[in-house]
Amino acid sequence: MVDLALLGCGGGMPIPQRFLSSLLINYKGRKILIDCGEGTQVSMRLLGWGFKSIDVICITHGHGDHIVGLPGLLATIGNSGRTEPITIIGPEGIKDLVNGLRTAAPYLPYEINIIEAPREPLKMKINNGIYFSKAEHSDLIISALELEHSASCLGYSLYFNRKPKFDAEKAAAKEIPKIYWNRLQNNETIVNEEKTYLPSMVMGEKRKGIKLSFITDSRPNAEIPPFIKESDLLICEGTYGNDFDKQKAINYKHMTFSEAAQLASDGKVQELLLTHFSPSMLEPEIYKDRAEMIFKNTIVGFDRLIKTLSFKD
């Protein structure tokens, strides 16, 4: 299962009881952070999931409400005793942005690897950390999509793979020695003097994984629905709740609740979680019906909302 916590659901500026854009994902004890607005560290401290095991940080864009919490967080991660490298992914220009912010955190006990505007999905393995992988089977695939905002901005889709079930009958029929079964289940190819045994020789049909998509900040466009298609959860900006504010959304390249709901419907996702609320919208939940009229399975976010996504048999 995949656990996630919406650390901050605000956009623009923090207000009492609402920090700025940030999402923390926990899978197999390792963590991925998407965005790092003001208040991220406070929410993480209150949440109690720890800092040391953050392996990947995905930044959507360089506006302050999505990134200014980063230098402080990097320093705290260093103070937690981490020495392994951290990967930061972001849009075009992210290297200069991170290097600029790091003037406030110049001395870190770990390396930072920066990936700018990835063109291909990033395949990763998870084993006491998240590592890039060229293996056929990857535990995690992170994809990015260029969005339509006033700055270069990426949406993210994370797909958590699930291993096929082990097929004992298949292994026995191929006369594979039992001493190799466990290693083959763990995706290890066995080569001995007589024969080569592949993991595919003992595994059954592929099983559906978990897909999580994160879209903020952006206007709706035709590329988003196929990118988020059949997500178990879509976390999407809803800067404006009232449809009367649609012109503001157009001017500032954001979305209304109803526009986010239409994307969820077009993308055939399972559930929609709205976030990134304008500081002028003090009670976003009163506009929930604007989204539900289009996409019923909608949640209005709040700071430190926790959700668990489970694999389905």
Residues whose CB is less than 8 angstroms from the CB of residue 288 and which lie 6 or more positions away in sequence, other chains included = 257, 298, 300
d(CA 122, CA 132): 7
Say whether 308 sits in a helix, a strand or coil. Answer: strand
- Closest of 284, 276, 307 to residue 13, by C-alpha: 276
Please say if 65 is a catalytic residue: yes
Contact in structure between 23 and 231 (CB atoms under 8 Å): no
d(CA 92, CA 62): 10
* Marked catalytic residue, from 65, 139, 232, 245: 65
Say whether 74 sits in a helix, a strand or coil. Answer: helix
SS3 assignment for 230-290: CCCEEEEECCECCHHHHHHHHHHCCCEHHHHHHHHHHCCCCCEEEECECCCCCCHHHHHHH
Burial class of 114 by CB neighbour count within 10 A (0 to 12, 13 to 18, 19+): middle
d(CA 47, CA 41): 10
d(CA 137, CA 199): 10
d(CA 52, CA 76): 9
d(CA 208, CA 229): 14
Q: Which residues are catalytic?
A: 65
